[in-house]
Chains A and B, each alone.
Chain A
Amino acid sequence: MPIDMSDNWPVIRTAGYDGFLVSFGDSLSETANRAALAFRAALEGAGWGGVKECSTSLVSTYVRFDPLAEDHEALRSKLDELLQTRDWYAVALPKGRRLWRVPTVFGGNSGPQLDEAAKVAGMTAKEAIASISSTRVRVQTIGFAPGMPYLGELPKGWDIPRQTELTAKVPAGGLCVAIRQLVLFPVSTPTGWRHIGQSAVKLFRPETDEPFLLRPGDEVEFHPVSVEELAEHQNDPNGGATCEVIS
């Protein structure tokens, strides 16, 4: 039995006046994140009438609906029934997810806190780059800013805290690390995460047909390149990243 599957999970709670949250745990784990992604896919597949919108957070699936069209108790029962249909912790991830390979410059001016992050994680800078670039991470959720992915999970050594002081400015496309997760920033921002690398991907392009580069559930690998190699991708909105559908 997966570690999350205690007697208490999953739970259904209301979220505001017009939402339900189905949570698969109270701490981040690979299985709970997978369950949330799979449950959202099932919900969208079900196409229930009163449902307006679904999304996932790290370990939960959120449903917004119109309580004037479908009452709370009726939707709660339907959610409960759908939950009972299978073991969501064991369900395969949704189809149509993609694998992105993102050219990334690690360290130097492009990742000024790589050495520091590596030290906190008990590695050399070289080991840190090898560890991160060889780990295929999943978009666990998108939030904080439009198109901004939380990616995980990194090996145990990367369970390092966020900084107490903020890094004043990480540029758009910046790759940062903390608590076994990576984040990629769509816009320049101050952050408590350590800035270890730089990509040229544009995560949020509101004027285009594909406004968000990544979707929840996509997988990502960060491939080390030189500053010069990355510069070649500066005019490419995908920043040289390649994409294939995971079969």
Chain B
Amino acid sequence: MNRSLIVHRAGPGVSVQDLGRAGYLAFGLSRGGAADRLALYEGAALLGQSETLAALELASIGGEFEASEDIRIALTGGRMRALVDGEKIAWNASYMLTKGQTLSIGAAEAGSYGYLHIGGGIATPEVLGGRSSHQAAGLGASLVSGQHLAIGADTQGETGMTLVSDTRYTGGTVRIVKSLQTDFFAPSEIARFEATEFRRDTRGNRMGVRVLSDGQGFKSDAGLSVLSEVIVPGDIQITGDGTPFVLLSECQTTGGYPRIGSVLPADLPKVAQAQPGATLRFVFVSLSQAVEIERREKACRGGLRGKVEPLIRDPRSIPDLLSYQLIGGMSAGDEFEKDNT
């Protein structure tokens, strides 16, 4: 029998994702792949396997899954409510899902995109060298109830491991570099852009997210007569009404809206993960600073495996923690806060 993950129910934004398909820009196909690429590295570290294996990306809401036989799983990215046969399990950890057990993943509690990784990876057929669904290009169908997703052979066996959760799920400061059209904006507009606190709009998908501010829109000196040019993920385009749009992995390959800057790859997961309403600020860094940031980021990704630790050390992994008599009722645990207010 083929190893598979049985999909009983899947939210509309559940899709198979990997690191995408690079190299087809000249043919109008953007790289695509996971909205939060770092999550794929985290899942790979937890399961001790390659980050190039495909996982399920869960946009805002998960679904209900069953294993055709014992499989290893890991949950990363934005935290979602997860249960195995009704028992709550911690996020950012790896588990054995035994044959017949049901994994239920609910709504996002932090961030926008959660990831379900499988030991051996999801092994749907490759198209153009990748497995990731690319909706804009019509690659990869939506998941349907009852579907059996093929899983690759698992060469490892470790489970019950965890990674300390990252802080990229609540918005914050995003580092950007100047890009080809930054000079189309007057220095005063660029300064105002940097000084503005934005809120992530409810409008957003794998192509890009809109960010809103209270002030007036941003204007380029080139107006709307800009010749279409190459778009790269991270570019911040200023649409006709002056609203910035940060482009993500499934963006178009060319576009005519002027771009005020481009988000560093290291900070793009923060933009993708920001929930509607989360605040974002953009700050320019120099190219040499950007290279240093990316160098550190690469080292961090490479070091993730060394940061994996047994899940038992993390109290969040203990089911129903509040029912344990940990300190015998001696303290409510909040005196410190009370004393200081």
Contacts and interface: CB of A to CB of B under 8 A. Distances in A.
Interface of A: 13-19, 21, 23, 26-28, 40, 52-60, 62, 64, 67-68, 71-72, 141-148, 187, 204, 206-207, 211-212, 215-216
A143 B24 contact: no
A53 B25 contact: yes
Contact of A17 (B24, B177, B229): B177
Interface string B158-192: 00000000000000000001111000000000000
A14 B29 CA distance: 21
Contacts of A212: 27
A15 B139 contact: no
Contacts of A14: 177-180, 287
Contacts of A216: 26
B224 interface: no
B22 interface: yes
Contacts, number: 120
A72 B232 contact: no
B127 interface: yes
Contacts of A204: 137-138
A171 B245 CA distance: 29
Q: 6 closest pairs, A vs B, by CB?
A: A55-B26, A143-B254, A16-B232, A16-B262, A146-B29, A13-B180
Given A15-B229, A17-B177, A145-B136, 6 more contacts: A14-B177, A53-B26, A57-B229, A64-B25, A142-B26, A206-B128
Contacts of A18: 232, 265
A57 B137 contact: no
Contacts of A71: 291
A17 B295 contact: no
A207 B126 CA distance: 9
A212 B29 CA distance: 10
Contacts of B262: 15-17
Given A67-B294, A68-B295, A204-B137, A60 B127 contact: no
Nearest to A71: B291
Contacts of A15: 179-180, 229-230, 232, 262
B264 interface: yes
A114 B142 CA distance: 37
Nearest to A53: B23
Contacts of B25: 53, 55, 62, 64
B132 to A, nearest CB: 12
Contacts of B228: 57-58, 141, 143
